[in-house]
Structure 1
Amino acid sequence: MSTGEFDNSATRYPEPTYGHPDYDAPDVIDDLDDGDFTAEHVGLIVPPVEIEASRHLHRLVAGWGMLSDLSFSDLLLYVPLPVQSEAEEKRFLVVNQMRPNTGPTLFLDDVVGRTMSAAQRPAVATAASSGEIVDTVIDSVWLGERIRVTAIPVRFHDQVVAVVASESALSTTRQPGVLEEVYLEAFGRLAKMVSAGQFPFEDEEVLAAGGPRVGDGVILLDQLGKVAFTSPNAISALRRLRISGRIQGASLTELGVETDTTYRAFFTARPAAEEVERNEVCVVIWCIPLLHAGRVDGGLVLLRDISELKMRDRLLISKDATIREIHHRVKNNLQTISSLLRLQGRRLTEPSAKAAIEESVRRIRSIALVHEILSREDGDEVNFSEILRPLVRMVEEGLTSPDRPLSFEMIGESGNLPSPTATSLAVVLTELLQNIVDHAYPPGLLMSEELPKVRIEMLQGAGVLRVDVIDDGVGMSGEADPERRPSLGLSIVTGLVSELEGKISFAPADEQAAAGETRTATGHLRRSGTRVSLTVPVVRGPIATQPPQREAE
């Protein structure tokens, strides 16, 4: 059979090409969610797939590397395109592709996004319409050689939702041997399960990256769970587990492998996986039951020696634990220094000296808070919102008195920050909050039963964290302007912000009050207050040069 190959004039769907100038593409779907298979895996707008069928295709693609390896061929996933009339030729869109690890690939370039007509892939069209597996050979004009195509209908709830095609060049077909025959037999059995809607399994948990592949080791089990075939790599994995003697004809349990994986897979008719460790050797075992007429009549076991990966994991865990212990000890040392300073402060009689000691204690405690959070987290980043809450609580406990209460409100999320940035920012906010308590509400400013409010707004975007500290106090005027009369606290703030390559600005919180309006429309007293705006880059580079817009803007 001679036919054309991939339509080089075809463009990415849904542009009305494909040799049909009058083809009306379906409406573009704007609200594709994470569950949409084709949007996530292909980045194309294709005919919408029912959500449950989409999840079925998700599971198929997650594990079809095994099918590609067993068949020594490329796998292409075809989805039928809608037609306007019965007279229009049926076309199929390639929405995913898998290359084998056990043989050469047929396609050196990606073919995802290309379309095929029924004449170009008659086996795919026949499988889609009949629901049966079709095996044929075609002459590829594009590739210049003969191609074997095995089209497998993907059935879900008695409906064919896609077609998987196994495509390989006859010129590169491996010489048949025992291993090749067993692999192709296993592929054929799994293909029948795909066609019957039995594979992939609906409630199967997809293995994480690093799961076993066919090249790592294969064991074929008969209907009694006895070993019928073992690949050379599987034998090596078992030998590393100190399994000796004859393997053929025995179950894994009889061989001494301490696992019930095969028993669970046969009993539940669902895949089962387990890690087996012995003498610092760790092998992951994944058993897929092979079904026929709804019954388990065999099993396919994939093995992989992950001893090196396990060792790396242990080293990483040990490293993380060491880093957390360091942060814990730094926190303890800072608390010790803070306690010593407080003891020293109690012996002082000079008010200015006592105030200086108290300020130092607060700064040290703010740094200790960061290390306390880091001692409980993995990695070197911390969610600054988790630091801000105890920081505000510390300010409430240490800087306010019952006769001068303050109401603090935190809005927004900061996201994760590197520990050096979080440490500096904690000290900066401590100084700003202390400045509010000391200067924003002088005696006689507040009316009886009036509760002053301090608001902290956080917003991260475009690689920048923006923090606004807003109070409704007396505001800035003349000698009270912090930029004209910098204190030690403000010097610390500007120095740390400069080190972070950030910016700080002071402005009235209420522009109308700053312009002279002293009353609101309802007659309430209006104060200008102060807004301190911080912008700190959390991603160094050009992206962090512009601060994000506030939500109100």
Structure 2
Amino acid sequence: MSTLADLLAEHTTLSDAAAAHLQRLVAEWQLLADLSFADFLLAVRAEHGDIVTVAQCRPNTASTVFPRDEVGTVVDSSANAQVARAFDDGRILRDEDPAWFGPLAIRREAVPIAVDGEVVAVLTRAIDLTHPRLPSPLELAYQDSANDLCQMVADGTYPQVEGNPRGLSTPRAGDGFVRVDADGIVVYASPNALSAFHRMGWTTELSHTRLAEVTASLLTDPFESEDAALMIDAAAGVVPLPAGPYRDVGLRMEADASRATVLFRAVALHPRGVSTGAVVLIRDVTEVKRRDLALISKDATIREIHHRVKNNLQSVSALLRLQARRTSNPEARTALTEAVRRVGSIALVHEMLSGSVDEEVDLDEVVDRLVPTLVDVASGEAPVQVRRRDRLGVLSAELAMPLVMVLAELIQNAIEHGFAPGQERCVIDIVGERDVRRLRMAVRDNGSGLPDGFDPASSDHLGLQIVQTLVSIELGGTLRMGSNADGLGAEVEIVVPVH
């Protein structure tokens, strides 16, 4: 499905500022839809003159009146004349009477969206009036706030450019809704909002109280109390929002009370430039924070385990290296040196996992750190250059661990046995190709190639036996050994599934 940016680029030549304003509106208009109990459609005038719907939003508080996707459709000006008129008149236009669409009676409202004095789009609000009834106090408070916000859309003052460097989520209207007047006095508080304040420690009703004072009295941190009170009063228009660092924080914050953690968001209401108060949304995130803390603790424990395993493996590697230096038997020294390398490869993966937060390993970084070690301990006479040609990507720990061991064995085997004595230029290339299903990787050298009739299955070389076991059993992949495409040197290709 095309994004809003794609559709704007396809149908219009709007400026970056106008497109950014529409993007901000679409990011925030779920609140409009929920408060209005209505569907919203965003339409722009295309270069060829047609009016095209480029975005759609359905409410969480009511049934949709547009069950099919309207994005990309051309607005029928004869059936919905308000949209075309709103482009020309630059003012909000409402249906006098609802129009029937099948079994539904829908009243529509066209809200022009102006940027720098020019109408760049029109927002259509469609409300289902099929079954009229007396609205509840909650519905009246919602709709009154929605009307103010729609007027602010026409004024060009909603949504505001709001900083949110902490990346806090936005509470929904259903999480908890409080409407305060221009003096910061609570006019209406939804049952969910009242429950959130009770969880924080408030024991009476919220109506007719100063919300800033109530909130400040409940928060445990004095700095958070001051910030929350300032945020609510500034949104309501009681005090001006100060310049400086607070501007970058925006009108949302997370705070701790004695028994709860809550997320606040304040939305200023000033239709036609006149402050009518604010909407304060509140969400009790106590359980979410508890789970987050548990996950953080678990993650830290896992990383600490990887760190300790890495340290233990390095200790084992050091003991094996010491034993190799003390032994006089060449075969035993070679076996111990190979064991040092294999333990070191596993330790390197654990070191990477000790700094990872998602149990994943960047295979390219591991290979780049592993190769110099392999070249240093190689027993080959000529200097060997090992090059990683392609990006191998990020893999889960359960795949990365055996794959790193396989690579280490293949590179070490190529260094020790792949080149003829006296060969001047010795090069080993690591190449890879990855898609969503599998990783194809090959280790190629420009050496003397494989012996005639070589069968890896019957080889008694421990390194090749380790490679075949890991590839077939641990990785569930396939292994192929043969000559390079140009006939010079050997190539070992591994294909492993990545999911």
CA distance in structure 2 between the partners assigned to 1:207 and 1:169 by the alignment? 38
8 Å CA contact 1:324, 1:374 repeated in 2: yes
Alpha-carbon spacing, 1:57–1:352, altered in 2? closer, same or farther (3 Å): same
Alpha-carbon spacing, 1:458–1:350, altered in 2? closer, same or farther (3 Å): same
SS in 2 for 1:36: helix
Pairwise CA distance, 1:69: 1.5
SS in 1 for 2:366: helix
8 Å CA contact 1:276, 1:282 repeated in 2: yes
CA distance in structure 2 between the partners assigned to 1:36 and 1:61 by the alignment? 11
State the one-letter code of the partner of 1:327: H
Q: Residue 276 in 1 paired to residue 250 in 2?
A: no
Question: 1:181-233: per-residue Cα shift (whole Å, max 9, x none)?
Answer: 33222112111111121112235549968521111222223334443432332
SS in 1 for 2:252: strand
Q: Residue 370 in 1 paired to residue 341 in 2?
A: no
Question: 1:235-263: per-residue Cα shift (whole Å, max 9, x none)?
Answer: 22112111345642414145414224335
CA distance in structure 2 between the partners assigned to 1:204 and 1:35 by the alignment? 22
May I ask how many residue pairs the two structures share in their alignment?
478
Name the counterpart of 2:222. none
Q: Residue 192 in 1 paired to residue 151 in 2?
A: yes
CA distance in structure 1 between the partners assigned to 2:450 and 2:335 by the alignment? 24
Q: Residue 538 in 1 paired to residue 487 in 2?
A: no
Q: Residue 290 in 1 paired to residue 236 in 2?
A: no
CA distance in structure 2 between the partners assigned to 1:296 and 1:405 by the alignment? 77
8 Å CA contact 1:381, 1:417 repeated in 2: yes
Name the counterpart of 2:407. 429
Consecutive unaligned residues of structure 1, counting only runs of 5 or more, are: 1-11, 13-31, 85-90, 515-527, 540-553
Name the counterpart of 2:481. 506
CA distance in structure 2 between the partners assigned to 1:388 and 1:223 by the alignment? 63
SS in 2 for 1:116: coil
Name the counterpart of 1:338. 317
Name the counterpart of 1:380. 359
Pairwise CA distance, 1:68: 1.0
Name the counterpart of 1:165. 124
CA distance in structure 1 between the partners assigned to 2:154 and 2:41 by the alignment? 15
8 Å CA contact 2:151, 2:272 repeated in 1: no
CA distance in structure 1 between the partners assigned to 2:258 and 2:197 by the alignment? 13
Alpha-carbon spacing, 1:283–1:173, altered in 2? closer, same or farther (3 Å): farther
Alignment of 1:207-218 (within 5 A): 211-218=170-177
Match of 1:106 among 65, 73, 89: 65
Query: Structure 2-normalised TM-score?
Result: 0.86
8 Å CA contact 1:37, 1:54 repeated in 2: no
Name the counterpart of 2:448. 474
Alpha-carbon spacing, 1:37–1:243, altered in 2? closer, same or farther (3 Å): farther
Q: Residue 360 in 1 paired to residue 342 in 2?
A: no
8 Å CA contact 1:36, 1:49 repeated in 2: no
Q: Residue 453 in 1 paired to residue 427 in 2?
A: yes
Query: Structure 1-normalised TM-score?
Result: 0.78
Name the counterpart of 1:299. 278
8 Å CA contact 1:479, 1:485 repeated in 2: no
Pairwise CA distance, 1:112: 3.2
SS in 2 for 1:214: coil
Pairwise CA distance, 1:35: 7.5
Q: Residue 36 in 1 paired to residue 23 in 2?
A: no
Alpha-carbon spacing, 1:189–1:138, altered in 2? closer, same or farther (3 Å): same
SS in 1 for 2:41: strand
Question: 1:311-338: per-residue Cα shift (whole Å, max 9, x none)?
Answer: 1211221221222122222222322332
CA distance in structure 2 between the partners assigned to 1:264 and 1:406 by the alignment? 68
Alpha-carbon spacing, 1:388–1:246, altered in 2? closer, same or farther (3 Å): same
Pairwise CA distance, 1:153: 1.0
Pairwise CA distance, 1:412: 2.1
Pairwise CA distance, 1:392: 0.8
SS in 2 for 1:412: coil
Q: Which moved more, 1:195-204 or 1:57-66?
A: 195-204
Alpha-carbon spacing, 1:397–1:35, altered in 2? closer, same or farther (3 Å): farther
SS in 1 for 2:174: helix
RMSD: 3.0
State the one-letter code of the partner of 1:532: V
State the one-letter code of the partner of 2:157: Q
Question: 1:273-316: per-residue Cα shift (whole Å, max 9, x none)?
Answer: 10011234111000122234557553221111111211121122
CA distance in structure 1 between the partners assigned to 2:205 and 2:453 by the alignment? 92
Alpha-carbon spacing, 1:282–1:174, altered in 2? closer, same or farther (3 Å): farther
Name the counterpart of 2:288. 309
State the one-letter code of the partner of 2:7: T
Pairwise CA distance, 1:50: 3.9
Name the counterpart of 2:196. 237
Question: 1:76-101: per-residue Cα shift (whole Å, max 9, x none)?
Answer: 222334446xxxxxx53333222222
State the one-letter code of the partner of 1:457: V
Alpha-carbon spacing, 1:135–1:346, altered in 2? closer, same or farther (3 Å): same
State the one-letter code of the partner of 1:261: M
CA distance in structure 2 between the partners assigned to 1:194 and 1:388 by the alignment? 54
8 Å CA contact 1:37, 1:55 repeated in 2: no
Alignment of 1:5-24 (within 5 A): none
Match of 2:107 among 123, 145, 148: 148
Percent of paired sites with the same residue:
36
Q: Residue 262 in 1 paired to residue 227 in 2?
A: no
Match of 1:441 among 399, 405, 419: 419
Name the counterpart of 1:463. 437
CA distance in structure 1 between the partners assigned to 2:204 and 2:330 by the alignment? 85
Alpha-carbon spacing, 1:193–1:504, altered in 2? closer, same or farther (3 Å): same
8 Å CA contact 2:200, 2:259 repeated in 1: no
CA distance in structure 1 between the partners assigned to 2:453 and 2:67 by the alignment? 74
8 Å CA contact 2:152, 2:272 repeated in 1: no
Pairwise CA distance, 1:430: 0.9
State the one-letter code of the partner of 2:284: D
8 Å CA contact 1:324, 1:377 repeated in 2: yes
Q: Residue 129 in 1 paired to residue 88 in 2?
A: yes
Alpha-carbon spacing, 1:386–1:244, altered in 2? closer, same or farther (3 Å): same
SS in 1 for 2:261: strand
8 Å CA contact 1:400, 1:406 repeated in 2: no
8 Å CA contact 1:137, 1:147 repeated in 2: no
CA distance in structure 2 between the partners assigned to 1:491 and 1:139 by the alignment? 78
CA distance in structure 2 between the partners assigned to 1:305 and 1:464 by the alignment? 43
Question: 1:106-132: per-residue Cα shift (whole Å, max 9, x none)?
Answer: 234433343331121122222122110
Question: 1:410-468: per-residue Cα shift (whole Å, max 9, x none)?
Answer: 2221112121211111111111111122112343222xxxx533222233124221222
SS in 2 for 1:330: helix
Q: Which moved more, 1:358-367 or 1:91-100?
A: 91-100
